[in-house]
Amino acid sequence: MNRNIYVRFSLLIFLISASVIISSCGSAIDQPTDVELLSSIEKAFVNVAKRSKPAIVSVVSVRQAENGKIHRQEGSGFIFRKDGYILTNEHVVRNATTIKVQLFDESEFDAELDGRIDRNTDIAVLKIDTEEDLPVLPLANSDEVQVGQFAIAIGNPFQLDYTVTVGTVSGKGRSFLPDIGLVRYQDFIQTDAWINTGNSGGPLLNIHGEVIGVNSLIRRPDNTPATDAVRAGAGFAISSNLVGKIGTQLIANGRIIRGFLGIGMREVPEGIRVRSVLKNMPAHLGGLQRGDVIVKYNGKQVKNTDEFKMWIADSPVGKSTKITVLRNGHERMFNVTIAEMPALQAGRPVESNSLAWRKLGLTVRKLEKGDAERYTYLTETDRGVIVDRVEENSPIPRGTLIVAVNGQKINSVEELEALIQKQQQELQQLILDVKSSHGAEKITMHLKP
């Protein structure tokens, strides 16, 4: 004990001596005063706020609740592209009937959403039409963000527009939201910069005025409602690299197409333990079983669930992947064909009143830009509708492209519905020309009464 005290005292004397020596090496004129140092830091924060505010917006969305009441949601956002694309949180604009965006100069615009949302990451892209180019905020490389560096949050908490708060990055790579139905992709930056109701969707900046994250949520142990006027707890921002990737895809393709395996999982020292396997989903069809421990994915060592989920999500739909598992102490490898994530797990509404669902046991969506990039069996010249959901034991798999029905080409959901409506009284079955990972084929579907 006495030796520890002696060591600490000696270290303290050394640090004081070193400080005195360093101070004496320069003249008093060369050394900035405490006030000058503080003034320089203060000026840096002021400049970041001045430069950034013109690219930050207020977002107000309005939706009608089931009881008929009007619900108003306020949040923040920032201009991502000079032609009027704005990034915000999905939960700020969820189920909105109208969305208003106000710029720094107090000009107001009606914003278009057009389905550019991703509930899995809580990102949404809005579009406003302006005649002039708008100021933008650049995205930083969030991989280079360091714990302990300054973090500056700007947003509109409690209708207090353009509130600026300063703190530090207190953690990286946080993920704590459970996958309850919805599959979540998480890479949060933790900060102690004060953020609150209304900050959602606003930027978290570094001292260069670059976006390191999008403020998304606050976590506190006592679960105080978000409407309370006083909040204390860690703030979390979606990392800029994830935001940039999702935002760019939403603008280019209108939505995110993700690969899907169909398992419940838990991280274990050896890899990822399969806790459950969804019937007729890729893992089940490929031979994976509950209790398997996934150790490799296409030859890459599996280390954690967040990284593993990203690998699956980025895998092309229809691609055969090699998954190595430990089963009863022995390694086994399976070829599993990746499917598109179902609407339910992707947070998209599920259509259950369509004629296609009632008569054929499937729902479809239009063929969209970007599908040919993610589906290995599609080309840019393909036309038709994509099967988005099927009943159990359906002869037609999810992700199938329906090209024609009874020889008549189908180019839209409306055309398929109209054809079923027209022929349901005359025919008991339909012959579908389809294209999937099994190739081009004809499938006979019996119409339900």
pLDDT for the residue 255 = 84
CB count in 10 Å sphere of residue 327: 15
245 plus 230 within the same structural domain: yes
pLDDT for the residue 158 = 79
For residue range 106-123, what is the model confidence (pLDDT) as tens digits? 999 999 998 899 999 999
Report helix, strand or coil for 177.
coil
Active site (annotated) includes residue 105:
no
Options 118, 122, 161, 371, the catalytic residue: 122
d(CA 122, CA 118): 6
Give the CA angle between residues 115, 117, 121 to the nearest 5°: 165
Residue where a domain terminates, one of 253, 276, 298: 253
pLDDT for the residue 29 = 57
269 plus 244 within the same structural domain: no
> Is 209 part of a structural domain of the chain?
yes
d(CA 263, CA 95): 29
Could you say which DSSP state residue 264 is in? Answer: E
> Is 44 part of a structural domain of the chain?
no
117 plus 93 within the same structural domain: yes
Active site (annotated) includes residue 200:
yes
> Is 68 part of a structural domain of the chain?
yes
DSSP-assigned states of every residue in 288-350: --TT-EEEEETTEEP--HHHHHHHHHHSPBT-EEEEEEEETTEEEEEEEE-EEPPTTTTTPPP
Residue where a domain terminates, one of 78, 96, 127: 127
> Is 309 part of a structural domain of the chain?
yes
377 plus 294 within the same structural domain: no
Assign residue 273 the CATH number of its domain. 2.30.42.10
Split into its structural domains, the chain has a count of: 4
Options 200, 216, 239, 315, the catalytic residue: 200
Residue where a domain terminates, one of 292, 313, 340: 340
Options 83, 91, 284, 306, the catalytic residue: 91
For residue range 419-437, what is the model confidence (pLDDT) as tens digits? 888 776 777 788 899 998 8
217 plus 153 within the same structural domain: yes
pLDDT for the residue 219 = 72
pLDDT for the residue 221 = 59
Contact partners, residue 141, CB within 8 Å, separation at least 6: 240, 241
| Residue 373 exposed, middle or buried by CB count within 10 Å (0-12, 13-18, 19+) | middle
Active site (annotated) includes residue 118:
no
Assign residue 153 the CATH number of its domain. 2.40.10.10
233 plus 285 within the same structural domain: no
**Measured distance between the N- and C-terminal CA atoms of the chain, rounded to whole angstroms:** 86
Question: pTM score, two decimals?
Answer: 0.77
pLDDT for the residue 220 = 63
| Closest alpha carbon to 217 in 241, 186, 195 | 195
154 plus 247 within the same structural domain: yes
Q: Which domain holds residue 217?
A: 142-253
57 plus 100 within the same structural domain: yes
Structure token digits, residue 257: 């197409």
Residues of the chain with pLDDT under 50: 1-9, 11-16, 18, 20-24, 26-27, 223-230
